[in-house]
A and B are shown apart, each in its own frame.
Chain A
C-alpha cells in the first residue's frame, strides 16, 4: 500500500468522501432491512446499497486509480453495469414470490390480479 502516499491530498480527500458516503448509503440500506415493517417495504432497502452505494464506492475507486494512473478504470464500469443489470432479476423474483404467496393466502392488502373475464388465470 506504499503507493497510496503518491495520491495528492485533494484526491485523497475526495476519494475518502466518496468512500464514506458510499459506505453510509450501504449501511442505511442494511438498516432499512432491519427497520422497515413489511416485506414489500424491505424490498426497497437493498436497492439503495446496489445503486447509491455501489456507484459511489466505484466512483471513489475510479478516481483513486485514475489519479494514480496505475490501472484502467474499466473494471469499475463493468461492476456498475453488471450490478445494475442483474439486480432487477433478484428483486422481481423476490417480489413476485411474495405477491404469489400473499395472493394464495388471500390477504386483503395485496392487489389482486385483474383477470380477463374469459380465460382462467394460470395462478
Chain B
C-alpha cells in the first residue's frame, strides 16, 4: 500500500483540488483525479522532499497575522517609494543577515515570505556560513529589516520541526 501511495495526504489533497477545479463529482473526473494524483505521488518520491511536521498550531495563526501586516505595510511603503522615485533618489542597498535555519521547508517558506514583502529581495543563502544576502529598498531601516528577518526565522523554526 505504501509503495503504491507514498504520500496519502498529498494524494487526497490533489484529488480534492482536482474535483473542486472541475466542479464535478462525476465518476469520470474522480477516476482521472485518482490516476493523476497517484502518478504525481510517484513523481514526488523521485523529488525526495524533506518531510517536516507542523508544531504549535496556535502560533501559526499569530505568526501569519504578523506576516500579513508586514506585507501590507511593505506594499504601501514600496508603492510610495516608486511614486516618489523621480524626485528623491531611492536609497537601496545590500545587507546580510545571519539566518540559522537547517530545515529546507522553513527556508523555502522564508523565501516566500520575503518575496511577498516587496521591500526585500532574497538574493543568496550561504548554507555553510548560514547567512542570507538580501537587497532592500530602504537601507536606512537596515536594523529593522534585520530584526524582522530574525523574528521570522525564529518563528519558522518553532513552527516547523
Q: Which residues of A contact B (CB under 8 A)?
A: 25, 28-29, 31-32, 35-38, 40-41, 43-45, 47-48, 50-52, 71-72, 74-75, 78, 84-85, 87-88, 91-92, 95-96, 99, 110-111, 113-114, 116
Known A32-B82, A36-B82, A87-B112; further 9 A-B contacts with Cβ < 8 A: A25-B79, A35-B85, A36-B90, A41-B90, A47-B115, A92-B123, A95-B124, A96-B123, A114-B126
Whether a CB of chain A sits under 8 angstroms from the CB of B116 is yes
Q: Once the chains bind, are A51 and B116 in contact (CB under 8 Å)?
A: yes
- Note all chain A residues with C-beta closer than 8 A to B82: 28-29, 31-32, 35-36, 45, 48
Partner of B121, one of A29, A50, A91: A91
Task: Name B99-129 residues within 8 Å CB distance of A.
Answer: 108, 111-112, 114-124, 126, 128-129
Whether a CB of chain A sits under 8 angstroms from the CB of B137 is yes
Bound CA–CA A31/B81 (angstroms): 11
> Residue of A at shortest CB range from B134?
A95
Chief secondary structure at chain A's binding surface: helix
Q: Which residues of B contact A (CB under 8 A)?
A: 17, 20-21, 23, 71-72, 75, 78-79, 82-83, 85-86, 89-90, 92, 94, 96, 108, 111-112, 114-124, 126, 128-129, 133, 135, 137
Could you jot down 20 A-B contacts, CB within 8 Å? Answer: A31-B82, A37-B89, A38-B92, A40-B121, A44-B118, A44-B119, A45-B82, A47-B115, A51-B75, A52-B71, A78-B21, A84-B115, A87-B116, A88-B108, A88-B112, A95-B121, A99-B133, A110-B94, A114-B126, A114-B129
Bound CA–CA A113/B112 (angstroms): 23
- Note all chain B residues with C-beta closer than 8 A to A99: 123-124, 133
Bound CA–CA A55/B128 (angstroms): 36
- Note all chain A residues with C-beta closer than 8 A to B20: 72, 74
> Residue of B at shortest CB range from A110?
B94
- Note all chain B residues with C-beta closer than 8 A to A78: 17, 21
Given A40-B135, A95-B135, A111 and B94 contact (CB-CB distance below 8 Å): yes
- Note all chain A residues with C-beta closer than 8 A to B114: 88
- Note all chain A residues with C-beta closer than 8 A to B85: 32, 35-37
Given A28-B79, A95-B135, A51 and B71 contact (CB-CB distance below 8 Å): yes
- Note all chain B residues with C-beta closer than 8 A to A87: 112, 115-116
